[in-house]
Amino acid sequence: MKITISGASGLIGRRLLKVLNKDGNALHVLSRHAGTNLPPGVRLSVWDPAKGEPPAESLREADAVIHLAGEPVAQRWTGNVKQRIRESRVAGTRNLVAALAKLSRRPGALLCASATGYYGSRGDEILTESSAPGNDYLAEVCTAWEKEALAAEALGMRVACVRTGIALDARGGALHKMLPAYRLGAGGKLGDGRQWMSWIHLEDLAGLYVFALDNPVRGAVNGVAPYPVMNAEFTRALAAAVHRPALFPVPKVALRVLFGEVGDVVLTSQRALPKEAERAGFRFRFPQLPPALADLLKR
């Protein structure tokens, strides 16, 4: 299959690129940086999503497009940063779909990243793909982001928006940042620890994208494991996985001082379930947290 992929230098993109390349697909990467390091045989086109349409030659022969590009959310938010987060996703996806509209032969599918931030903070409520969006900043961004992606349906393309939870990998992302403290025995729950965490092993997330390429998955798809956990349970599981105690809870006020507005996002409670993925027949290798952590930490 000929696949164009944006955001291939991120945590999810790197793993997905490796999997798709190993499977023998012809890959064309869209990147803001001409010097992006890629496997042999993978083509590269330079594209800044917020500034215009991608080069037509990067899309012309594609059978599918995977769109992952976006400004990192995990940074201290200023007005300028929040604008970049929104524009990189919303305007970037709009620019991509505009380029797709100009093709005489369009790809059959567009798989666009989204996030469980779509739901906002919902306490103990069980969230499926049919749940209403939240009303905070990230929910608004995700709603607008998905709207731009779904506009490609009018072009005759199948569109799926993968609402990713916390992607776990020991070499990057949230888990990578947590590990040093936990290995020193300095880990602990965040706030009261009662907020739900919708997580997924990075291998399963990459597998879900590959599954969505090959199967008629469309619309919203929760990219999360079937068994979310509360933060307190996650804390206990990670401490057990590194054979250390977790004795140092981080109060809510400290999170706000350390991280600003992002500190509130850390305490967001999202109990999302992957109903659409399971309905389509996707099988998770790591549905439960303790085996997922054990696998990630042995690698």
Check if the beta carbon of residue 114 is closer than 8 Å to that of residue 68. Answer: no
Q: Quote the pTM value.
A: 0.96
Confidence band (pLDDT; 50, 70, 90) for 168? very high
Confidence band (pLDDT; 50, 70, 90) for 109? very high
pLDDT at position 264, please? 86
pLDDT at position 34, please? 82
Check if the beta carbon of residue 279 is closer than 8 Å to that of residue 219. Answer: no
pLDDT at position 263, please? 86
pLDDT at position 178, please? 94
Question: Residue 80 burial (CB < 10 Å; 0-12/13-18/19+)?
Answer: exposed
Average pLDDT over residues 195-199: 98
Domains by residue range for the chain, with CATH: 2-167+199-224+272-284 (3.40.50.720)
Residue 126 backbone dihedrals phi, psi, to 5 degrees: -80, 130
Which of 117, 113, 112 has the alpha carbon at shortest distance from 139?
117
Torsion over CA of 214, 127, 226 and 142, rounded to 10 degrees?
50
Helix (H), strand (E), coil (C) string for the chain: CEEEEECCCCHHHHHHHHHHHHCCCEEEEEECCCCCCCCCCCEEEECCHHHCCCCHHHCCCCCEEEECCCCCCCCCCCHHHHHHHHHHHHHHHHHHHHHHHCCCCCCCEEEEEEEHHHHCCCCCCEECCCCCCCCCHHHHHHHHHHHHHHHHHHHCCEEEEEEECEEEECCEHHHHHHHHHHHCCECCCECCCCCEECEEEHHHHHHHHHHHHHCCCCEEEEECCCCCEEHHHHHHHHHHHCCCCECCCECHHHHHHHHCCHHHHHCCCCEECCHHHHHHCCCCCCCCHHHHHHHHHHC
CA distance 208 to 16: 10
pLDDT at position 17, please? 95
pLDDT at position 256, please? 82
Written as six digits, the tokens of 228 are 């979310």
pLDDT for 127-167, tens place per residue? Answer: 999 999 999 999 999 999 999 999 999 999 999 999 999 99
pLDDT at position 223, please? 98
Confidence band (pLDDT; 50, 70, 90) for 103? very high
pLDDT for 41-85, tens place per residue? Answer: 999 999 999 999 999 999 999 999 999 999 999 899 999 999 999
